[in-house]
Amino acid sequence: MSAAKSERVLNLLIALLSTKRHLTKHELRHMVDGYRDSRSFDRTFERDKKELRDLGITISTGSNDPYLDEEDGYRIDRGSYELPEVEFTAAETMALGLASHTWQRSVSADATADALLRLRAAGAAPDLDNLPAIRAQIPVTEPAFDAIYEAVFARTVVGFDYDGNRRTLQPWRLYQLRGQWLVIGHDVDRDATRRFKLGRIQGDVEVVGPPGGYDIPDDIGDLDAPANVRATIALRDAPELAAGATPVEWEHDLPEGFTPFAVSRLTEQMIVVEACVAGPDAIVLEPAPIR
């Protein structure tokens, strides 16, 4: 879409949103920049309406007075256009605050800081003074992390030196195992799925393809490293941790309302993060190192 067309469609959107009555084509032609001097106004107007409708915007058609024989007009109802106000519970707000402190020294740290700034602007920022004193963090020490992270989201092919060999990879997903970050993807040179430890990547990661240069398989979850850390956690109201967990027996007394579950995750850090997010609704019973 050209800049002139984008501006014209945006002006049409503003005009249809700003009115409380239906505007006729004659009125819109004189209100919207880009229509006044158009010799093919009718065709242009129909194309612009289609552009808005293709974006999911509903344009209503009708008359301002059903008793008068007048030309139908157009308007956009704000109720059908605007998203409802987003509200967070106290627990959800605390989880957002914890998430803002979880990522350290990486491109994700900037993203979470930006998200927190937007929440503050909307009046929904968490009170950081009320967060738990002990907060989970996901350390990132590998120099290659940021470049691989951005490549995963942009779906760009990258090249890097690994154990003395040049590798070309379509990165699919990043994950952490025993404190080390790994990337799984399609090794272009070997035409096979491979995993690489980011800490063993030597030098800079080079982008060697355009954004959106490949598709990520739908069954990527089946290729991830298996969950190899198991913990017993007493849960009261923590649906995120309870998802996929198995109820188990626990020989000791628990606070009222708590049920013991066996929870499996990829790393101990993942369990710690989710338990911290659950706050008072989760009690880690075992293993001892993360209790």
Alpha-carbon span 276 to 235, nearest angstrom: 12
Q: Which residue has the higher pLDDT, 277 or 72?
A: 72
- Predicted local distance difference test score (pLDDT) of residue 109: 59
Q: What is the DSSP letter of 164?
A: T
Residues 203 and 271 in one domain: no
- Are the CB atoms for 261 and 247 separated by under 8 Å? yes
Residue 11 shares a structural domain with residue 67:
yes
- pLDDT for residue 246: 83
Do 214 and 238 lie in one domain? The reply is no
- Which domain, by its residues, includes 25? 3-81
For residue 26, pLDDT over 90 is answered with no
**Which of 65, 12, 16, 66 lies closest to 34 in space, CA to CA?**
12
Mean pLDDT of 222-243: 70
pTM of the model: 0.45
- For 158-198, write each residue's pLDDT tens digit: 999 998 899 999 999 888 776 788 899 999 999 999 999 99
Residue 138 within a domain: no
DSSP secondary structure letter of residue 177:
E
Query: Residue 139 falls within a domain, yes or no?
Result: no
Total domains, the chain: 4
